[in-house]
Structure 1
Amino acid sequence: MMRMAMASAGLNRLAEGRWTLHSRFTQAVNFSHASGELLTFYRYGKGMGPAGILLSTRDFARLATVTAFEKQGQTLFINGTPLSARRMLTLTITPTRLVLADLSSFHADSGLCGPLHQLSLDAPPCQSLLRGLQRWSCGEKPDWLSLTGLGPGLTPSGDDMLVGAMAVLFASQFSSHIQQHPFLPSADQLALLTTSVSCSYLNSARVGAFSSPVLRVVRHLQHGRDPRSAIRRLLTVGHTSGADMLAGIVVALKWLQVSPRRSMHARSGNDSYIYPGSGDGELFPRRQFTTQNARRD
């Protein structure tokens, strides 16, 4: 049995005691606690989630016969053998300015909004997300009933869009506003609206923790680097989960571009948390950004 994992993340947020097998997949194995929380083991090479353990391919295969373990702090006891991690990761975002991603070369299908290269803010899920973002930014309680649990799979598409949008909010200096005005329903309410696996990702997102593929996209957008390789990596996540999170990221970025935070403080001029980047081909053309800013000003 393995004694040392490659890395762990978010274990301090998870309950102590006994965890039992929830679901098993080729790239991830989920275990659940009586509290309803999930802890995920990830196979190396497919990214790391916001709360779980990263294992080598050989050690991941050894989970095939594991049905339960005990958690004590940062250590898991599997069949009596302690498992700890070489590295403890903090999968959070440092706020700074963002660029807008161009999806024109990505034809992957999202779960709710069609092909990414044809993503339209007029699509009903995008409109639901935009309305919720606007209500939340004004200090009102957003109504996510039209998005939470919407779509097939263990992480429904509407939930994935919310995760992507929350990554943008944390990346663009909204973290303090999230603490004052909760973006999501409480964990208990959320458990009634969607799947347990999706709740795990959403509850991590509410504290600013995201999977490594999401973080990589956001960090490329923050630093003006070519995001295309990071986007392609995110698109490999799940059946449409990566595409849905990317849709949420782009919708939230476009909302930030055209919706100044009037309700939070008086301000003038361009949005300081979005910039047009270097004008390279992988970003929105500077001409498009300038035209949109001119309309708003």
Structure 2
Amino acid sequence: MHDIHPLLGCQDAVDFRQTWRTGGVWRRTITLYVEGGALLTLHHAGRGISPGGWVLRHHDFTQLSREIIAGAMPVVTDSGIQMGRSLLLPPVRQCSLRLAAGEKISLLPGSCIDRADETGLFGPLSKATRLPVLPELRQMLHCFSASLAGEDIDWTLWLGRGPGLTPSQDDMLIGMMLAAWEAGWLNVHNSNAFFRASGSLHTATTQVSANYLQYAARGCFASPLLHFVFALRSGRRMTAATASLLAMGHTSGADTLLGFWLAQHFIRG
């Protein structure tokens, strides 16, 4: 048996002692999930970390990718998760992916959105962010501002639209929540009510996306999103941080950036 010691884990990851099933095995990630519930994402080192994620060394990730089969049910013990000939141990070193509000609102520079990168539903970023705001985006922004004001919004009516493992409008909503947490409009006092009227998100979108949305409502975001906000606050390394964000998924980064831009329209008043 080969023991795998993760390099890093997210503090908000769920307890690994659950009945897991292997989801997807991709070039950068491996997902384990509990039917209708928790998600554990294993990341290739150097590719960042998501909420509920563990980071594996290159050789461990490669070996695990070759051994496991999608849909299989790993053996879970008190020591770790056994997959094939490998025993995946819980990480010793952990990090926080929670975002605290900044001292002032960090406005998005035009250079971040005046780009040809394609969004999932609304064409290039440069076109999707033209004023006046597109009608569908304006309606989504209205729902978002109402939600922040304490109104009950059923977000399942918006989720699951667009291509990808995390559909486009789900990524947009995560970008909007990122902007709201950054500005302090979402916080520990009101965030629990954000999806209060939405029932189970798992009925409206993919399991991966439902988990990321729930984490975002609690102020937990993938490391490229946090790096982007930190660069925006400091005014340094914006080019690298924007490129890292836009490299997420096929259109996930662009959709997230579109949502961030859209929410700042409301936050700026």
d(CA) in 1 for partners of 2:142, 2:152: 11
Give, in angstroms, the shift of residue 226 of structure 1: 4.5
Give, in angstroms, the shift of residue 14 of structure 1: 4.4
Which residue is equivalent to 1:148? 159
Which residue is equivalent to 1:110? 119
After superposition, the Cα gap between the structure-2 partners of 1:43 and 1:71, relative to the gap in structure 1 and judged at 3 Å, is farther
CA contact (8 A) 1:15 1:37 kept: no
After superposition, the Cα gap between the structure-2 partners of 1:186 and 1:77, relative to the gap in structure 1 and judged at 3 Å, is farther
Which residue is equivalent to 2:42? 41
CA contact (8 A) 1:128 1:146 kept: no
Give the TM-score, by structure 2 length.
0.85
After superposition, the Cα gap between the structure-2 partners of 1:3 and 1:185, relative to the gap in structure 1 and judged at 3 Å, is same
Residue 39 of structure 2 aligns to which amino acid in structure 1? L
1:17 aligns with 2:18: yes
Which residue is equivalent to 1:91? 97
> Quick one: which of 202, 219, 236 aligns to 1:191?
202
CA contact (8 A) 1:125 1:147 kept: no
1:164 aligns with 2:175: yes
After superposition, the Cα gap between the structure-2 partners of 1:82 and 1:21, relative to the gap in structure 1 and judged at 3 Å, is closer
d(CA) in 2 for partners of 1:104, 1:180: 27
Residue 81 of structure 2 aligns to which amino acid in structure 1? F
d(CA) in 1 for partners of 2:210, 2:133: 27
For structure 2, the 5+ residue unaligned runs are: none
For structure 1, the 5+ residue unaligned runs are: 259-297
Equivalent pairs, count: 256
1:202 aligns with 2:206: no
What are the residue-to-residue correspondences of 1:45-60 with 2, within 5 Å? 45-60=46-61
Residue 4 of structure 1 aligns to which amino acid in structure 2? H
What are the residue-to-residue correspondences of 1:219-258 with 2, within 5 Å? 219-258=230-269
CA contact (8 A) 2:11 2:96 kept: yes
d(CA) in 2 for partners of 1:42, 1:180: 27
Give, in angstroms, the shift of residue 110 of structure 1: 0.7
CA contact (8 A) 2:148 2:185 kept: no
After superposition, the Cα gap between the structure-2 partners of 1:250 and 1:217, relative to the gap in structure 1 and judged at 3 Å, is same
State the superposition RMSD in angstroms: 2.4
Rg larger for: 1
d(CA) in 1 for partners of 2:75, 2:176: 34
Which residue is equivalent to 2:228? 217
> Identity of aligned pairs, percent?
29
After superposition, the Cα gap between the structure-2 partners of 1:214 and 1:227, relative to the gap in structure 1 and judged at 3 Å, is same
